[in-house]
Amino acid sequence: MLKRILFSAGLIVGLLALNWLISTQIEGYVATIILHAGIFVILAVSLNLVNGFTGQFSLGQAGFYGIGAYAAASLTTYGQIFLFRHWFHDDGSISWWMGSLLLILAMLVGGIAAAIAGIIVGLPSLKLRGDYLAIVTLGLNQIIVVVLNNMDKVGGPRGFGAIYPKNLNPISIPQLSSFFWVYFVVAIVIIVSINIRYSVHGLAFIAIREDEVAAEAMGIPTTKYKITAFVLSAFFAGVAGALFAHTDGFIAPNEFDFIISINIVVMVVLGGMGSVSGTAIGALLLAVLPEVLRGSFEEYRLVVYAALLIILMLVRPKGIFGQEELSRAWFKAQLLGLKTLPSRIKEWADGLGQKRSTMTGRSK
């Protein structure tokens, strides 16, 4: 118990210190990239609950992300008209405490809105399996984008940055988010994921992933567990949306397109499906990589990004971490693995010219 309290206290103090460092010492552009990377870590780790743990293939995470962002941004703009106008000073600024309280409210509202959407989507569609579930969640993602595009109250295709109520000054989305809050949620989603993974529920998730029929036969209520994972994942995506809206102060429907969902899935698979630390590192890597490539070879950066993605998948088909967590044993195994790398590249090159494949790995 004492260990946990010390860990939590250390985490919060560390985050606050880093928060101070980043807000004062690092230029705004880099700081924004760090915040966006954190938001993608939340999205990827939460998607890992569904895709990595229960083995369901959801391709609609950006839809829930969008619902969370719009719900939270609506709260902090429209809510200002009648709910908490007096929380703000006359010049539109807000104190750190009240701002944080409002951000927590916004995150809860965003998360709950996305979770409700998750229940509505999950109940019927989780009956579908494999690729059918993928395409249905993807379709729902696109429906959400089209609906957002047609909602004039939140800007429609022009995007949502401010509202213009009659008789009042325009109210813009307050930029309440900060390094502390983004990475606090990152810590929460990682801790929740790891705790679930090693609990009884986590074992049920894994059983469903390994063999749904066998899990059902063992008396695991598969539908209940699949929906639990799906709704929890949607909730965190909604929280990420709330953070995103209050980081940028501007959101637009195309920022929640299915392309973003695909990006999130790529992060999960690249990091290692089912590995929490792997997913987090995959997300950080893929969120930061395009920005690092910016500048040096601007025109080719997305070409390089795509080529790296293909090469990584060819070299490490199970993702960077596989299903393992980041640990000392993992590093030892990698050092051993590094020695076999040249032979594996040779194997791939040989495979290109090979006439007949060895017919292993037959699909079930």
Partner 1 sequence: MPESHHILSTFVQQVVNGLTLGSIYALIALGYTMVYGVLRLINFAHGDVFMVGCYIAFYVASAMFRAHMDNWFAGAAAFAAATLGCGLLGVVIERLAYKPVRNAPKLTPLITAIGVSLLIENVAVLKWAFGPDPQFCPQVLPSDGKILHFHGVDEPVDSVLLIAFTIVLLAFLWHVVRNTRLGKAMRAVSQDKDAASLMGINVNNIISFTFFLGSALAGSAGFLFAALTHVQINAYLGIPLGLKAFTAAVLGGIGNIPGAALGGLIMGLAEAMVEGYGSLVHIPPSYSDAVSFVVLIVILLVRPSGLLGKGGVEKV
* CB atoms near residue 16 (< 10 Å): 14
First to last CA, the chain: 46
Site for partner 1, residues 37 to 66, rule: CB under 8 A? 51, 57
Query: Rule CB under 8 A: which of 214-273 touch partner 1?
Result: 214, 217, 258-259, 262, 265-266, 269-270, 273
- What size, in residues, is the chain? 364
Contact assessment for residue 297 and residue 304, using Cβ atoms and an 8 Å cutoff: yes
Q: Does 135 bind partner 1 (CB under 8 A)?
A: yes
Write down the least CB distance from residue 157 to partner 1, Å: 9
Strand-strand pairing, 162-163 and 171-172: antiparallel
Q: Which two tokens stand for residue 237?
A: 């995506």
Q: Packing angle between helix 222-248 and helix 28-48, nearest 10 degrees?
A: 170
How far is the C-alpha of 252 from the C-alpha of 41, rounded, in Å? 20
**What one-character-per-residue DSSP string does 168-200 give?**
S--EEPP----HHHHHHHHHHHHHHHHHHHTSH
Of 80-88, 200-208, 233-241, 312-320, which segment contacts partner 1 by CB under 8 A?
A: 312-320
Nearest CB to partner 1, comparing residues 100 and 323: 323
Among 147, 206, 289, 293, binds partner 1 (CB under 8 A): 147
Choosing from 85, 89, 127, 158, the residue that interacts with partner 1 (CB under 8 A) is 127
Question: Of the candidates 153, 292, 305, 327, which one interacts with partner 1 according to CB under 8 A?
Answer: 305
Of the candidates 42, 53, 45, 51, the residue with the CA atom closest to the CA atom of residue 198: 53
Of the ranges 26-34, 70-78, 95-103, 139-147, which one interacts with partner 1 (CB under 8 A)?
Answer: 139-147
Question: Given the rule CB under 8 A, which of 15-23, 32-40, 111-119, 130-138 is the region that contacts partner 1?
Answer: 130-138
Shortest distance (Å) from residue 268 CB to partner 1:
9
182, 286, 292, 294, 306 from 302: Cα distances, Å: 27, 11, 11, 9, 6
For 160, which DSSP code? B
**Which among 17-25, 181-189, 324-332, 355-363 is the span making contact with partner 1, rule CB under 8 A?**
355-363
| CB-nearer residue toward partner 1: 34 or 269 | 269
Choose which of 136, 239, 276, 320 interacts with partner 1 (CB under 8 A).
136
Structure tokens at 118: 């998750």
Residue number, 19 or 149, with CB nearest to partner 1: 149
Q: How many Cβ atoms are within 10 Å of 341's Cβ, its own excluded?
A: 10
* Interaction site with partner 1 (CB under 8 A): 51, 57, 124-125, 127-129, 131-132, 134-136, 138-140, 142-143, 146-147, 149-150, 213-214, 217, 258-259, 262, 265-266, 269-270, 273, 299-300, 302-303, 305-307, 309-310, 313-314, 317-318, 348, 351-352, 355-357, 359-364
